[in-house]
């Protein structure tokens, strides 16, 4: 059985990388030239859940961040292993929240993310 792709499109990943300046949104470390899944990954602020989801808003740019590391290393590992702190900082959200309306404590300060690949300070 072929695995169903429930992640963002390559175009959306590129948009998020450009928006986040090819750097980890949490610590600012450059991910340019790194390998996806090892050196950097895309964080879903509202998690997809085991097996993914058909909820299209989960793969919108406002719900996605670039984080250094994998789900168990560096910033991505920190977010996954300290979920309560990640919720306070906007790196994780509850399903009922709207990502474009919840700021995230990015490396340069609190920002709101939109679905066109923009970010603005709050």
Res 77: pLDDT: 96
**pLDDT digits over 88-111, tens only?**
999 999 999 999 999 999 999 999
Res 55: pLDDT: 84
Q: Which residue from 62, 63, 10 is spatially nearest to 36, judged by alpha carbons?
A: 10
* Cα–Cα dist 90/69, whole Å: 18
- Neighbouring residues of 36: CB distance < 8 A, sequence distance ≥ 6: 42
Does 51 score more than 80 pLDDT?
no
Could you tell me the two tokens for 32? 């340019």
What are φ and ψ of residue 70, in 5° steps?
A: -105, -170
Res 3: pLDDT: 60
pTM (global) more than 0.75: yes
Q: Are strands 64-68 and 119-121 parallel, antiparallel or unpaired?
A: unpaired
Does 4 score more than 80 pLDDT?
no
CB 59 within 8 A of CB 7: yes
């Amino acid at each position: 059985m072929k695995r169903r792709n429930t992640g963002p499109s390559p175009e959306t990943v590129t948009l998020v990388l450009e928006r986040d300046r090819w750097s980890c949104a949490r610590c600012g470390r450059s991910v340019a030239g790194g390998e996806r899944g090892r050196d950097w990954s895309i964080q879903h602020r509202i998690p997809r859940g085991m097996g993914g989801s058909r909820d299209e808003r989960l793969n919108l740019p406002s719900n996605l961040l670039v984080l250094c590391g994998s789900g168990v290393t560096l910033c991505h590992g920190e977010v996954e292993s300290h979920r309560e702190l990640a919720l306070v900082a906007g790196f994780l959200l509850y399903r009922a929240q709207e990502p474009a309306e919840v700021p995230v404590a990015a490396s340069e300060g609190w920002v709101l993310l939109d679905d066109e690949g923009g970010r603005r300070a709050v």
